[in-house]
């Protein structure tokens, strides 16, 4: 990097938000906020949270306000200027093409009588994200197959993302455009904001961050990521033939433990040598 320009893209929960079981270094968040306040650092949160929950986390955890926010599992990008959050329509147009002109309402009608699913609350929906609860007793694969068949018959290309909320004993199912992912959103930001690959760092901690480990963009897993995620991340980076673009925070650097935002800063230290003197003073 010839100058000190940086696009820092980071997950929120258990990455900059210390809501996991590992201890947070007491200096980490203040140093993270100080670093992100620099004019040569552009901060983007990349999260599954919707806008209201992102803003709530910023208030509750004293996080810096971002310049950009990728929310709702990658389906919305906001530009944030002086506290004003504005949806980036070019991203909506890019991902929405896969739905062949059909609206969210059209797809809801198409999937209305799929057994064992119930629409989630209104605040968890948006133009390119349809979220359902799936009965824990249901055959998830059969439900997914039914949805895929209905969508394919209409020529709609969609990704179905299924997971389980173990605390509530319920399945969670999102219907999304295929390009509505963290990786594609970060690559969109890099391209549209005219950053070189070496001027971008992504940080995460969980399985839905792993597609970034296959990207050419420098990516770090914070130290509190699980051993399984670290192992899978390393394997993906190796398979992509760009292992040098992958780093796992270990702690000890900058006199911090590498968990959460300490690990984000450690990743910046690793990938952006020109900013090390700044990080030491943050």
Would you say residue 2 has pLDDT above 60? no
112 sits in which H/E element: none
Per-residue pLDDT of 103-151, as tens digits, reads 999 999 999 999 999 999 998 999 999 999 999 899 999 999 999 999 9
Q: Is 90 exceeded by the pLDDT of residue 168?
A: no
Query: pLDDT confidence of 282, banded at 50, 70, 90?
Result: confident
- Structural contact between residues 259 and 203, judged by C-beta atoms closer than 8 angstroms: no
Whether 167 has a pLDDT exceeding 80, the answer reads no
Q: Which CATH number does the domain 96-176 belong to among 3.90.1070.10, 3.40.50.1220, 3.40.640.10, 3.30.70.20? A: 3.90.1070.10
Does this model's pTM top 0.85? Answer: yes
Of residues 60 and 162, more confidently modeled: 60
Query: Is pLDDT at 229 greater than 50 in this prediction?
Result: yes
Where exactly are the structural domains of the chain? 6-75+180-281, 96-176
pLDDT > 90? residue 203:
yes
Instruction: Summarize pLDDT for 62-99 with one digit per residue, the tens.
Output: 999 999 999 998 999 999 999 999 999 999 999 999 99
CA 260, 73, 196, 244 dihedral sign is positive
Output phi, psi for 114, to 5 deg.
-65, 125
CATH topology identical between 6-75+180-281 and 96-176: no
pLDDT tens-digit map of 8-24: 999 999 999 999 999 99
Q: How confident is the model at residue 3 (pLDDT cuts 50, 70, 90)?
A: low
Angle between helices 182-192 and 89-96 (to 10 degrees): 130
Tell me what the mean pLDDT of segment 209-225 comes to.
Answer: 95
Query: Would you say domain 6-75+180-281 falls under CATH 3.40.630.30?
Result: no
Structure tokens at 70: 């990728």
């Amino acid at each position: 990097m010839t100058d000190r320009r940086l696009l820092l893209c980071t997950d929120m929960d258990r990455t900059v938000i210390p809501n996991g079981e590992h201890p947070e270094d007491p200096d980490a968040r203040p140093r993270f906020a100080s670093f992100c306040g620099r004019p040569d650092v552009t901060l983007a949160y990349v999260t599954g949270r919707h806008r209201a929950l992102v803003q709530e986390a910023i208030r509750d955890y004293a996080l810096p306000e971002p310049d950009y926010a990728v929310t709702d599992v990658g389906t919305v990008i906001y530009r944030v200027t002086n506290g004003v959050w504005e949806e980036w329509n070019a991203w909506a147009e890019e991902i929405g093409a896969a739905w062949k002109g059909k609206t969210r309402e059209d797809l809801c009608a198409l999937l209305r009588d799929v057994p064992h699913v119930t629409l989630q609350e209104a605040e968890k929906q948006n133009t390119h994200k349809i979220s359902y609860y799936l009965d824990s007793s249901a055959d998830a694969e059969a439900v997914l197959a039914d949805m895929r068949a209905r969508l394919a018959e209409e020529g709609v290309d969609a990704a179905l993302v299924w997971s389980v909320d173990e605390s509530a004993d319920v399945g969670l199912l999102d219907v999304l455009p295929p390009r509505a992912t963290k990786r594609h959103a970060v690559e969109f930001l890099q391209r549209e904001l005219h950053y070189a690959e070496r001027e971008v760092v992504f940080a995460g901690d969980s399985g839905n961050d792993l597609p970034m480990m296959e990207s050419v963009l420098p990516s770090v897993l914070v130290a509190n990521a699980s051993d399984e995620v670290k192992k899978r991340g390393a394997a993906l980076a190796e398979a992509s033939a760009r292992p040098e673009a992958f780093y796992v925070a270990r702690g000890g650097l900058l006199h911090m433990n590498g968990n959460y935002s300490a690990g984000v800063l450690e990743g910046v230290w690793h990938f952006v040598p020109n900013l090390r003197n700044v990080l030491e003073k943050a």
